[in-house]
Amino acid sequence: MRRSVLRPAALGGLALVLTGCAAAAPAGDEIAGSLTVYAAASLTASFDEIDEAFTAQHPGVEISPVYDGSSTLATQIAEGAPADVFASADEATMAKVSEFALDPAVFASNTLVIAVPAGNPKEVSTLADLADVVTVLCAPEVPCGAASATLLSAAGVTVDAASLEQNVTAVLTKVAAGEADAGLVYATDVVGRSDVASVVPEGADEVVNRYPIAALQDAANPETARAFVAFVRSEAGQEILADHGFGAP
């Protein structure tokens, strides 16, 4: 079980490394064992590919990914969930588990888009339109919800959401199924999708989510956890993330 007593402030501060190169991972034959990676739902497709690339280099490693809203994952980590690595969709959520996270580093960035069903039947084109159609949003306590609230507030738009979801995947699922006319999701969530379309709203470039990753202090396999973090931040990992639409750290 993880300790529930927080470290002193001087030791528990969150150190996010925004630039610089990641340390090289050890050779493949030195890395082995199981690895549990907790990652934001918006990272699902990219981290599935990263997992494959990492295990191709280190065939002795078996990765078990867990995808959900960052705040849900952070709560589970704080309660003692057996995670080795945590990748959050924003820095604020990583800060909530700073006493468990070892040297968090920002590895990617993302912005919001308006997602609509394919063909955009309600002809949604602006944030203001969201107030007049059935709109689903992420709950305010999760990163995509906090970003959505910031974006809507800056635009002076108030939306009475049909539902507030615990992760961005749930928002996109409802839009794709036609259960909602629109929703705010990350730009990366619509990449490669034919069942939804997207509109880049005005001001989206000013609301940027920065994604930090960290090995956790109670990781069962700390060497492999560090190697995975290094791989995500390496050129190979960054190329995969870029292919999925993520911006640079």
Query: How many Cα neighbours within 13 Å face the side chain of 29?
Result: 0
Averaged pLDDT, 123-147:
97
Residue 207's pLDDT is 97
How long is the chain? Answer: 249
Enter the pTM of the model: 0.85
Report d(CA 229, CA 54) in Å as an integer: 10
| Interval 16-57: pLDDT, tens | 443 344 444 444 457 899 999 999 999 999 999 999 999 999
Top pLDDT among 147 and 26 is at: 147
Helix (H) or strand (E) holding 209: strand 209-216
Q: Taking 50 as the threshold, does the pLDDT of residue 246 lie above it?
A: yes
Which structure tokens are listed for 221? 């396999």
**∠ CA 95-215-87 to the nearest 5 degrees?**
60
DSSP state of 126: S
Cβ-contact 98, 8 below 8 angstroms: no
Cβ-in-10-Å burial (0-12, 13-18, 19+) of 171 comes to buried
| Residues 6+ away with beta carbon under 8 Å from 88 | 40, 70, 73, 74, 94, 143, 211, 212, 213
DSSP state of 14: -
Averaged pLDDT, 159-185:
97
Average pLDDT, rounded, for the chain: 90
Identity at 31, one-letter amino acid code: I
Q: Which residues pair with 216 in a beta bridge?
A: 101
pLDDT bracket for residue 14 (50, 70, 90): very low
| Residues 6+ away with beta carbon under 8 Å from 147 | 90, 112, 184, 207, 209
Q: Which residues pair with 196 in a beta bridge?
A: 117
Averaged pLDDT, 108-120:
98
Residue 67's pLDDT is 97
β-strand pairing of 163-165 with 135-138? parallel
Other C-beta atoms lying within 10 Å of the C-beta of residue 228: 30
Averaged pLDDT, 123-151:
97
Identity at 128, one-letter amino acid code: A
Q: Taking 90 as the threshold, does the pLDDT of residue 11 lie above it?
A: no
Top pLDDT among 28 and 213 is at: 213
Phi and psi torsions of 31, nearest 5°? -115, 125
E strand residue ranges, 123-172: 135-138, 163-165
Residue 187's pLDDT is 96
Averaged pLDDT, 176-183:
98
Residue 104's pLDDT is 98
Residue 30's pLDDT is 76
Report d(CA 159, CA 151) in Å as an integer: 11
Radius of gyration over every alpha carbon of the chain, rounded to an integer in angstroms: 18
Q: Taking 70 as the threshold, does the pLDDT of residue 184 lie above it?
A: yes
Residue 26's pLDDT is 45
Cβ-contact 147, 207 below 8 angstroms: yes
Lowest pLDDT segment from 18-27, 113-122, 214-223, 225-234: 18-27
